[in-house]
Amino acid sequence: MQPTDPLSSLDIAAAEGVGPTGHGASLDALLRASVAIASGADPAAATAHFTPWLAAQVAADADAGRFALWGESTVIDEHSGTAVVGRPLFDLLHELAGVRAVWPVGNAGLLHVYGYLFSEEKTPFGYKRERWMGGGVAAALDLPSEHFSPWTVHGTETLLQRVTDAALPRLGAEPGHAGPAASVDEWDAAVLARTRVVVAADGSAALVYGVRWPDSGAPMRLVTIFPVEAASAEWLRALGSGPPRLRYNVAVAGREPGAALRHTRFAVR
């Protein structure tokens, strides 16, 4: 008996006509791809079948050099201790982008933006894709609710381009200027990690996190951005009260995940 192909054995309708034009159809196609990959289907076949926009967007980002604007991240979630993106999908994304990576550490833009769309691992905060599909990050940045949907049409802009353009400038903003409600810098001689919390007029909030290497003269690189459910004054103060360390699954060469740093500076407006 021939081995069963998970892509065909699942009760999944053909994806012809299911493209980046309709919200429901595109979400359905994305979820079908995600389930197929989690069930053992070849990610290249599943994404080509259900979400053909993925390879095109990743290629456009690679051509534009956007992945260099992001740091590195581990796929092992610091809360669940499990991989939120499987090895086959991890390898496919980095192959499509032409980015070298050694499991479980890869490019944070590839993993947190594109990889999370297909993650079936439910964390204590829900599915990773919800930051893009649920509109929480968009609301905090005063953007339309579907701004970060992968099929939202913005001319030739990719999802990673929209996320980078919206998030990266926030890492250079100080509290009271350009919107951040709180700022935490944590560093030692080798690395600076920066957290910015942005709160919109309606109370929607998002946390942006990035790193840079002080001695290199290189600019800040994005690591992650995610919605914050309730950025109360108490929560904001607690954000800067713990000992300084690496956070949010960032990967820094020569350091363990969550490794301690030496200094911290906190401000809240």
- Residue 5 pLDDT grade (very low, low, confident, very high; cuts 50, 70, 90): very low
Distance CA 98, CA 87 (A): 16
Cα first-last separation, the chain: 66
Distance CA 137, CA 208 (A): 10
Tell me if 121 sits within 8 A of 80, measured CB to CB. Answer: yes
Q: Nearest CA to 224 among 196, 248, 204, 258?
A: 248
| 87-97 helix and 53-64 helix, angle to the nearest 10 degrees | 50
Distance CA 53, CA 58 (A): 9
- Residue 154 pLDDT grade (very low, low, confident, very high; cuts 50, 70, 90): low
Average pLDDT over the chain, rounded to whole? 87
Pick 16 or 135 by higher pLDDT. Answer: 135
Residue with tokens 């954000």: 239
Please tell me the predicted confidence (pLDDT) of residue 52: 93
- Residue 60 pLDDT grade (very low, low, confident, very high; cuts 50, 70, 90): very high
Q: What pTM did the predictor assign? A: 0.89
Q: What are phi and psi of 11, to 5 degrees?
A: -80, 75
Whether the pLDDT of residue 9 is over 60: the answer is: no
The size of the chain, in residues, is 269
Dig out the tokens for 22 from the structure.
């309709």
pLDDT tens, position by position, 204-257: 999 999 999 987 778 899 999 999 988 888 888 888 888 999 999 999 999 999
Dig out the tokens for 97 from the structure.
């982008």
Q: How many CA atoms lie within 13 A of 14 on its CB side?
A: 2
The whole-number average pLDDT for the span 45-56 is 95
- Residue 171 pLDDT grade (very low, low, confident, very high; cuts 50, 70, 90): very high
Q: Nearest CA to 96 among 150, 44, 19, 46?
A: 44
Query: Which percentage of the chain shows pLDDT scores above 70?
Result: 87
Tell me if 132 sits within 8 A of 148, measured CB to CB. Answer: yes
Distance CA 110, CA 163 (A): 12
Burial of 21 (0-12, 13-18, 19+ CB in 10 A): exposed
Q: What are phi and psi of 76, to 5 degrees?
A: -85, 110
Pick 193 or 238 by higher pLDDT. Answer: 193
Helix (H) or strand (E) holding 187: strand 180-187
Dig out the tokens for 68 from the structure.
């260099």
Whether the pLDDT of residue 78 is over 90: the answer is: no
Whether the pLDDT of residue 265 is over 50: the answer is: yes
